[in-house]
Chains A and B, each alone.
Chain A
Amino acid sequence: MRLLSLYLLALLDGLLCGLRASMGRCPLIRKRGYYTRASIRGIIGAQIISTLALIVLLLTAAFSTYRDALRADLEVAATHMLWIFLPYAALVLFNLGLRLLPSTDIRSATSVFMLGPLTAIRPLVMVAGILYGISASRLLATRLLALFILVLMLSLEFALNYRAGRAQSLQIRLLV
């Protein structure tokens, strides 16, 4: 259940990374379709990362002589990670929810005071969550797996930005 929660949070993070990478790169007014595609790209990215992590986890388990201990250790690490990731995700979702209010001041305030800073601290939250999980784990395999996932998750936004940037450059080159 805890690993599933982490997986769902990874998908949410991927969705938001996809959105952020696409913002400021499409000058149309109506772009629900554009943002939907960007979100799906982010989810796919997070899914690829999750699949890679799962493959590594299964391989580790397959060759491990202490499978039950590994599973218990992963659960403990995941619980600790959730203590960091869940409040962060809740804060992001709460502020996104505030944007449903019909007040331009409240909506833009969520960008300036909350979503902007929350975006800025995302890498720190990732690192903090993983380190907190690692601090509670006892097995090297769990720690290495957590670090592997951290590297992948931090690379996700970079990769999505790189892809979106290239697509934008190509589009602009055709215009001038």
Chain B
Amino acid sequence: MFPAWNPAQPEITDLIVQHDPHTHERLPVRKQELLEVFHRFNNRQALRAVHSLPEKAGVLDDRGIDALLLTVHWEMQRLAEEFYHGHRVWQLLRCVLASIRQAGIRETLRVADVGCGTGYTTRWLAANIPLADYNIELLGMDLNSVLIAEANRLASAERLPCQFFQQDAFSPEHSSHIFLSTGVIHHFRGPALLEFLRRHDQPDVQAFLHFDFQPWFLAPFGSWFFHYLRMRTAIARHDGVLSAARAHDARTLTEAARATAPRFAAGIYGAKIWNTPAPRVFHSLIGLRRNLVPELRRQLGRHATRLGELR
């Protein structure tokens, strides 16, 4: 396989911005350290991309990196738009919300977008869903202050009823009822994946929906072609394809969820297109309080066949 597709390595965007896990303050990142990471994987494509990053005396230039990150996230939004990701999230979220209501929970439901970036999913929902009718509140959380500032700027520019916070999504400060994410879960690997899913097990949480690439042998090729056509920055092209190679398979996700969040029934939604063997580009790990499962199947109607084994 090509070195740039080796799933053992991190993505460039995982490394170019570092935050103190406790204070969330930004930490300096030395370019040489990044180069050494990708040297170890003989990943020349990543090395070229890292070489071109703006720096000052060997340390990545915060301003230049922030500009690059925004450019990449604007581009990534284009992919979400082309995949009608907002519609897909809403198709499932609507049924999950209805199941929760059917169980007698009447309070305002908080939906938190974990690792929201510039908040496309949350802003799409805020722009297209009558939140008052569903009595839901939309929040987005990310550790990157620049992306959060941009998400809030965009929400404010379009007067969208949603808010974004630079913080750990699982902190008790904004306890939520539903956690969702897009393209985030593959960043957690090994013990970190288990810890990520374990943290969903909070008293208020009713469900979680984590959308991510679905791995299969053609995924990196398809992703390469699509990113080559649609993305303009070297980092987006590199990381987009690597994401497809690093994506967790259904078994890894469901086993991790069942082991660490046993109070939830966990399974995969939307793995195949129209019940054919053809896989969807994205699938989603869904976790649900066990009492909600029969109602979710009912709410999904003809789409219930998209739901795999939920246990």
Contacts and interface: CB of A to CB of B under 8 A. Distances in A.
B74 A116 contact: no
A173 interface: yes
Nearest to B146: A176
B: interface residue count bin = 35 or more
Given A27-B77, A27-B154, A176-B146, A107 B232 contact: no
A60 interface: no
Contact of B66 (A25, A107, A169, A176): A176
Contacts of B83: 104, 108, 111
B225 A27 contact: no
B78 A105 contact: no
Contacts of A165: 232
Interface stretch (B120-128, B172-180, B258-266): B120-128
Looking at chain B's contact residues, is the secondary structure mostly helix, strand, loop, or mixed? helix
A47 interface: no
Given A29-B127, A168-B74, A175 B229 contact: no
B229 A30 contact: no
A27 B66 contact: no
Contact of A176 (B67, B77, B91, B230): B67
Nearest to A104: B84
Contacts of B222: 112
A120 B227 CA distance: 12
B278 to A, nearest CB: 10
A24 interface: yes
Contact of B158 (A29, A105, A107, A176): A29
Interface of A: 23-30, 104-105, 107-108, 111-112, 116-117, 119-120, 165, 168-169, 172-173, 175-176
